Structure 1
Amino acid sequence: MRTRYIEDLANIRKMEKNVSELIKLSYDRFKLYIENGQKNNLEEIIDLDHDIRQYAADIERFCYDILALQQPVARDLRFLQMSIKLASTYKRVSNHIAQAAAILLEFPLRDEEKDYVDAFIKNQKLMNENGIKSFENNDNELALRTIEDDEINNELFEDCIHYLVKLTKQDQISPMELSEKVLFYKYFERLGDRLAKVADYTTRL
């Protein structure tokens, strides 16, 4: 019975790593869209959202089953509690990426905007990688560095808003596109918060 319990905990870690890899794939598709402008990349991101949310829901159910059947304590209990929170966070991360992709289906990126989004993606892919790595290895130092990296997202968001304000003053953007683009960049700012939250769970283990 104990062997099965240890295997179950290990399987949860594998599932969490797999979800993180799917998030990475979503960012890769965004990167491809920036490079080739093909909307099928955005559509694939939206399709991935369903898979990621389903996978995360499976993690939640698995954790609840272990909590009910094994009644873990101490470190294992904290791990399962944080894993449930992590799964919920990954669902939100996936949703934000999909919502951002949906906006671009109607309002494509201008050339100047591609640099901003590329910088967001570069930083957040690293946060995603380091966040799950810190959680799985209980690396508190890496977790704290990952949390600090969210400041890059905040600075980028401010730069994007300033850029949109400039377009507005020059009458180069419609009110509808303006509102959607503000929301688009807000999704990326929130993505940074969510990915920092993954790292924050490490500090609670």
Structure 2
Amino acid sequence: MRTHFQQSLTEVSALLVEMSHLVAQAVAEASEALRTADGHRAEQVISGDSRIDAFQAEVEERAIELLARESPVARDLRMVVSALQLAASLERAGDLARHVAELARRRYPELAVPAPARATVTEMGQLAHTLVSQAGQALADQDIEAAARLAVLDDSLDALHVKVFTIAREELTDPGQAVDLTLLSRYFERIGDHAVSIGRRVEYLVSGTLHKQGAVEESHEVTVGGGQP
């Protein structure tokens, strides 16, 4: 029975890693569609989001089945619940990539990003892609040091987010452009936040200690029926 349970957890982990690759690809493709006003690439990101959603649904189905069938406790319960949270963070990051692509499509054939902000937004897209890619690798490797480094990268993304707001406020006269630019910056900033959330969940999985918004919280293992942590 335990062998089957561990095999099921391994399969769920593999689904999450593959899902992270899909999300990283979506972020990269959406960023490129935005940079080049590539309507076809934007459409591919938008249509591909359903595949990311399907991965989330499969992870949820398997995790809930494990909860119902195996009644996991302690570390095993932590792993199953974390799988649900990881899938949710990845799905939301995928949605944000879709939003970027939708904005690029809406402005097609024009470039959606006004000239004063193009270099900054391009850098944001590259950083967001790096964050998601490295979060997925940290998950695959169960590497808490790599997971912890995500917060440093995210600080750089946050700084660019502030820079974009300054550009929108001080250099743009078209309200529509300012709104679009602010939204795009927010999408990339939130992708970074989800990558950091994935990293914190990896740290929790490996160490049992949950890092949350800069604070460290010791987890309390959930036991049912006298199970041991």
Query: How is 1:79-158 mapped onto 2 (pairs within 5 angstroms)?
Result: 79-107=79-107, 108-158=112-162
CA 1:104–1:126 in structure 2 vs 1: closer, same or farther (change >3 Å)?
A: same
Normalising by structure 2, we get a TM-score of 0.81
One-letter amino acid of the structure 2 residue matched with residue 110 of structure 1: P
Q: What do the CA deviations read for 1:85-144 (whole angstroms, capped 9, x no partner)? A: 011111111111111221222332234433223212222222212212223333221111
2:36 and 2:154 map into 1 onto residues whose CA distance is 28
Structure 2 unaligned regions, length at least 5: 206-229
- Report which stretch shifted further, 23-32 or 47-56: 23-32
Aligned to 1:22: 22
Does the Cα contact within 8 Å between 1:53 and 1:90 map onto a contact in 2? Answer: no
* CA distance in structure 2 between the partners assigned to 1:40 and 1:119 by the alignment: 22
- Tell me the distance in 2 between the aligned counterparts of 1:182 and 1:32: 18
Deviations 1:125-178 (A, max 9, x none): 22212212223333221111112211011101011111112333xx3x2x2232
In structure 1, C-alpha distance between the alignment counterparts of 2:132 and 2:149, rounded to whole Å:
12
CA contact (8 A) 1:29 1:41 kept: yes
Mapped contact 1:45–1:101 kept (Cα < 8 A): yes
Query: How many angstroms apart in 1 are the aligned matches of 2:3 and 2:138?
Result: 25
Q: Read off the aligned partner of 2:194 and give its amino acid letter.
A: R
- Structure 2 CA distance for aligned equivalents of residues 153 and 66 of structure 1: 37
Partners of 1:86 and 1:153 in 2: CA distance: 21
Shift of 1:37: 2.6
Percent identity, aligned pairs only, is 20
Match of 1:33 in 2: 33
Name the stretch that deviates more: 63-72 or 137-146: 137-146
DSSP-derived class of the 2:204 partner: coil
1:17-74 Cα shifts (integer Å, max 9, x gaps): 1111111211231243256432111111111211111211210111111111112222
The alignment's C-alpha RMSD in Å is 1.8
Matched with 2:77 is 77
- Cα shift at 1:80: 1.0
Letter in 1 for 2:96: H
Query: Aligned partners of 2:36 and 2:185: how far apart in 1?
Result: 20
C-alpha contact (below 8 Å) 1:130/1:146 kept by paired residues = yes
Aligned residues: 201
2:136 maps to amino acid: I
Question: Does 2:68 correspond to 1:64?
Answer: no
Greater alpha carbon shift after TM alignment, 177-186 vs 111-120: 111-120
Greater helix share, 1 or 2? 1
Q: Does 1:194 align with 2:194?
A: yes
Residues of 2 paired with 1:198 and 1:105: CA distance?
29
Q: Distance in 1 between matches of 2:85 and 2:13?
A: 14
Residue number among 163, 167, 184 corresponding to 1:163 in the alignment: 167
